[in-house]
Structure 1
């Protein structure tokens, strides 16, 4: 795999606790982040707390609540073993075994596995596009300007291609930019324009990337096509929300009408 930054997100340097001699701001931020992500999936757990890199009384209480919720000894300290429990969704998204009869099936199954583990961005220091999922998709980058839809799509393509011993960068450069991939598609004649796709939907295939146009040479959102039904495509896409935003906060399974929106399609066929 080309995109392996996620492995750093699975580790803390030492046990973290209130007034701990080995406390580390970045590790405390990781713990606080995962306590919040855990709370999203377990609203009654009482683990949501601020993310500021300070292991104060609020973080200690959130840790105690996490330990109580999971029937663990209530020490108020998080070591690597308990951090493994907190960050397990990320590990499963990147490392669960995936099968498929061909690259297109692998792409879909990898995307579904990420979706199942509920990637979600966080707000930290008053900035969106933050947290362990965003950094994993963007190779350590995060922050207000770091839209992560292409990072997610390329992560899926990278994982799927790597299972077959292929390098997705033979198809497109590693990038976080929809414009770069769209331009590459035009240069390599792999981009089906929306006008042609509307006329001949058979050109759209599961596993391809969709690119939403702003102008003919400017695209602002992407994701994985999972199915085509009449006038609509099903997708799995990152950095979106229920409204289909290109700067949302989650990975979602969405339905988009490609007859009403200018959507181009990048074919992964040369890699298949």
Structure 2
């Protein structure tokens, strides 16, 4: 795999605890981030805390609450075992063995596996588009300026095709820009415009990815196509929300109408 920044999110340098002499602020922020992420999908867990890098009594209590849920010793200390439990979903998303044997099915399987593990962005130090999931998709970068929908798509492609010894760079360079990818798609004859798709939706296939067109050479959002049926696509998208925003908060599964939205589609056929 080309995109391996996620591995840094699965480790801390040393055991962290309240008033610990070996505490490292960046590691405490990681721990607090995972506690908050756990609380999003487990709102009764008591693990929602402030992300400030200070391992104080609130962080200790949140760790104890997490340990109780996970049936771990309730000592409020984060060693490798506890941190592995905190970051389990990310490891599962990136390293779970895949079952599919062809590129299109692999892309959909990988995207679904990420979705099942609840990727979600955080706001840290007033910066949205932050946290371990965003950094994993964006090669270590996060913060308000780093819209991460294309980073998500390229991560899914990279993870899927690497299983077969292929490289996603066959289609495009590493980039976070929908405009760059759209332009390359036109140059290579791989991007089909929405006008043609509306006449023949069968052009679109699962495993392809879409680009929402704002104007002729300006695209604002992207995601993976997981199914196509009667002019409707089902998708898995990063950096979106329930309204389909280009700067949302999570990975979500959506349904989009090819007949009403300006949806161009990039074919992954050269990788098949």
TM-score by length of 1: 0.98
Distance 2:101 2:67 in 1: 41
Distance 2:62 2:35 in 1: 7
List aligned pairs for 1:6-21, cutoff 5 A.
Answer: 6-21=6-21
List aligned pairs for 1:81-96, cutoff 5 A.
Answer: 81-96=81-96
Distance 2:68 2:268 in 1: 47
Cα deviation, residue 150, structure 1: 0.4
SS of equivalent to 1:145: coil
SS of equivalent to 1:6: helix
Cα deviation, residue 91, structure 1: 0.2
Cα deviation, residue 71, structure 1: 2.3
User: Could you say which residue in structure 2 is the equivalent of 1:2?
Assistant: 2
Distance 1:85 1:73 in 2: 12
Distance 1:88 1:13 in 2: 17
User: Could you say which residue in structure 2 is the equivalent of 1:144?
Assistant: 144
Deviations 1:183-232 (A, max 9, x none): 11011010000000001111101000100011110101000001111121
SS of equivalent to 1:53: coil
Unaligned 5+ residue runs, structure 1? Answer: none
Distance 1:225 1:72 in 2: 40
Distance 1:101 1:6 in 2: 24
Distance 2:74 2:264 in 1: 53
Distance 2:99 2:270 in 1: 20
Distance 2:18 2:212 in 1: 47
Cα deviation, residue 69, structure 1: 2.0
Cα deviation, residue 126, structure 1: 1.2
SS of equivalent to 2:44: helix
Distance 1:67 1:103 in 2: 39
Distance 1:37 1:207 in 2: 28
Deviations 1:43-64 (A, max 9, x none): 2110110001111111111111
Deviations 1:145-203 (A, max 9, x none): 10000010110000111000001111111111101110110110100000000011111
Deviations 1:83-136 (A, max 9, x none): 000000000000001121310000000101001111000111111100000000
Distance 2:225 2:68 in 1: 41
Q: Is 1:217 aligned to 2:217, yes or no?
A: yes
User: Could you say which residue in structure 2 is the equivalent of 1:47?
Assistant: 47
List aligned pairs for 1:1-272, cutoff 5 A.
Answer: 1-272=1-272
Distance 2:158 2:17 in 1: 37
Q: Which aligned runs of 4 or more in structure 1 are off by greater than 3 angstroms?
A: none
Cα deviation, residue 39, structure 1: 1.1
SS of equivalent to 1:183: helix
Cα deviation, residue 70, structure 1: 2.0
SS of equivalent to 1:30: helix
